[in-house]
Amino acid sequence: MLDSDAFAIVGMAGSLRSGSFNRALLQAMAELAPDGISIDTFDLSPVPLYNADLDESVDGGPYPDAVRDLRAAVEQADALLLTTPEYNWGPSGVLKNAIDWLSRPAGASPLNQKPIALAGASKGMSGTGRGQLQLRQNLLATNSYVLQRPVIQIGNAKDHFDEHLRLVDEDLRTRICDQLIALREWSRRHQPMSAPLP
């Protein structure tokens, strides 16, 4: 049953490949969302590379349709959930590109004061910790409210998903629920300020 009063999260995965652990993680998180929390996933595949000539907020435009859809989805969401691979110690370009489209106009963008949780999975041991740290830095620039704990950083991803990319780690399933509940509480504590800071 659709719960229209649910805390509405929009989730985006920073990997486009079909066998992606981060897409599988986002899917698992959507399925594990506890009562009163809903997660809609937004597919970043159609979002083109950022081009200021197409950016309505900086005298360009019109926005490509996928960018208009992306911005509308984020504006309407109570909070965001970003699952990112770690590429070269940073977040994926796919995710960074989406953030760039969402970041304008500075100080009044859809990301301004938006509560956000991060999660990620990598094949290596680091579990995307370095990528998430860079992502946090990017989201400082957008004045977003990034949840601090619990973190979801899954190293050796193959050990936590089965061959059908289903999450099989019970501890992780519990931590995911904890993170989603924490995001809702975090959001309640960080209601947007009516006037922007100077």
List of residues contacting ligand FNR (CB under 6 A): 15, 17, 20-22, 85-89, 122-124, 126
Reported residue count of the chain is 198
Least distance (Å) between residue 92 CB and ligand FNR: 8
Least distance (Å) between residue 7 CB and ligand FNR: 25
Q: Kindly give the pairing relationship between strand 7-13 and strand 79-83.
A: parallel
Which one, 63 or 87, has the nearer CB to ligand FNR? 87
Which one, 127 or 150, has the nearer CB to ligand FNR? 127
Which one, 7 or 21, has the nearer CB to ligand FNR? 21
Least distance (Å) between residue 59 CB and ligand FNR: 34
Q: At what angle do helices 21-32 and 170-189 cross, to 10 degrees?
A: 70
Which one, 17 or 188, has the nearer CB to ligand FNR? 17
Type of residue at 110: P
- Beta strands in 88-193, from DSSP E residues, in sequence order: 90-91, 115-121, 145-146, 152-154
3-state SS, residue 189: helix
